[in-house]
Structure 1
Amino acid sequence: MQVNSLHDLFVYELQEMYDIENKLVGALNDLATETSNEDISRAFAEHREETENHVSRVEEAFNALNEIPERQDNDVVDGLINEHDKFESIATNEDVRDMFALNAGMKSERLEITGYEGLLMLADQLDFGSDVTDPLESNMSDEKDALSDLQDLAGGSKLKSLVSRLTG
């Protein structure tokens, strides 16, 4: 794909976000099943279902632009997934793996929020209508809520007991 205009840049970044959301469906499924902490596992499972909706919403934005939904590989999310896989192979303590998964979830939420902020900034510059921006704004709102939920888990009493077990 040649990127020579703001419109091209928007489509390119939308393709990256489409790739991110698709990859995170699988990653969240893995995190939900690998995590031993019930609250963290449930949060990942619920967000996986939301992320499936995010994929559909990104497709709505493509359709509003009369563009075919295509994925543009995103190395940042690949790096997060590779980091997780590498850590899983060296971590032997369940509680440590749960803490790592919680932090990984927060990292991915921040990545997604930043991606949607950039897309919406470009959409504003390009005067795209609500048929393009509404699905992206909905996704960004969900991502902010998911980050907040993970942050609440990080400060919750059940996680404090996990930390207490780790620090003895």
Structure 2
Amino acid sequence: MERIILREIVGLRVHASEDMTMAKQKMLDDLFHDTLKDIYFAEKKILATLPKMAKAAQSAELKAAFEKHRTETEGHVARLEKVFGVIGKKPVGKTCAAIMGITEEGAEIMDEYKGSPALDAGLLAAAQAVEHYEISRYGTLRTWAGELGLNEAVTLLEATLKEEKATDEALTKIAESAVNVAAEAA
């Protein structure tokens, strides 16, 4: 009788442990999917915002950087759609308060500094805030994809992460070589 009870208790512990592992796995799956929806929304919002920023930019170099990044962002959206496919989910965005705030700040800069030598410096600052947000999200998603064994997603997310970092570096060079200097000199 004691062995039967002990076996049942041990069996319950094994099942409880398996249930906890599955719950943790499911929770990370859910968090991954939720964050994926967040960055998908963000990329779509950025696609709508970049042409406005390019139009507002005074520096030809900055205009070109925004236009180039718009093309890259279209690729980011396509990769995200593939990641949704990897997890068997439909590509759907979830309103991202962070990107809404950052893009709103960029819109305010365009209004308040229109025609000012400081406009491009402000646009660069807003664009880099976007890049830093994206770098954070893509780095997190890539790590979680690895933990979830989603190797194809890791590859897709890593490719976008590298592009986001390269864009941030390019924007920094534009700021340091011309835009910030022009804003200060005026």
Q: Normalised by the size of structure 2, how large is the TM-score?
A: 0.82
Counterpart of 1:111?
133
Distance 1:92 1:59, change over 3 A: closer
- Whichever residue aligns with residue 182 of structure 2, its letter is L
1:92 deviation in Å? 4.2
Question: Separation in 1 of the partners of 2:159 and 2:30?
Answer: 23
Distance 1:163 1:86, change over 3 A: closer
Question: Separation in 1 of the partners of 2:136 and 2:115?
Answer: 32
Greater RCO structure (CA 8 Å; 6+ sep):
1
Q: CA RMSD in A?
A: 1.4
Question: Separation in 2 of the partners of 1:164 and 1:122?
Answer: 42
Give the aligned length.
Answer: 161
Write out aligned runs for 1:68-83 (5 A). 68-83=90-105
Pick from 70, 76, 84: which aligns with 1:62? 84
Question: Separation in 2 of the partners of 1:94 and 1:33?
Answer: 14
Give per-residue Cα distances to partners, 1:11-63, cap 9 Å, x unaligned: 00000110111110111111111101111111011001100110000001001
Contact residue 36 and residue 94 of structure 1 kept, 8 A:
no
Aligned to 2:150, the other structure's residue is in SS state coil
1:90 deviation in Å? 2.2
Question: Are 1:165 and 2:185 counterparts?
Answer: yes
Counterpart of 2:7?
none
Query: Which segments of structure 1 move beyond 4 Å, counting only runs of 4 or more?
Result: none
1:165 deviation in Å? 2.9
Question: Separation in 2 of the partners of 1:160 and 1:72?
Answer: 35
Deviates more, 1:110-119 or 1:80-89: 80-89
Question: Are 1:151 and 2:155 counterparts?
Answer: no
Question: Separation in 1 of the partners of 2:129 and 2:63?
Answer: 16
Pick from 25, 45, 49: which aligns with 2:67? 45
- Whichever residue aligns with residue 49 of structure 2, its letter is A
Aligned to 2:117, the other structure's residue is in SS state helix
Contact residue 29 and residue 48 of structure 1 kept, 8 A:
yes
1:124 deviation in Å? 1.8
Q: Normalised by the size of structure 1, how large is the TM-score?
A: 0.90
Question: Separation in 2 of the partners of 1:38 and 1:163?
Answer: 15
Question: Separation in 2 of the partners of 1:39 and 1:122?
Answer: 36
Question: Are 1:134 and 2:155 counterparts?
Answer: yes
Identity among equivalent positions (%) equals 25
Gapped regions of structure 2 (runs ≥ 5): 1-25
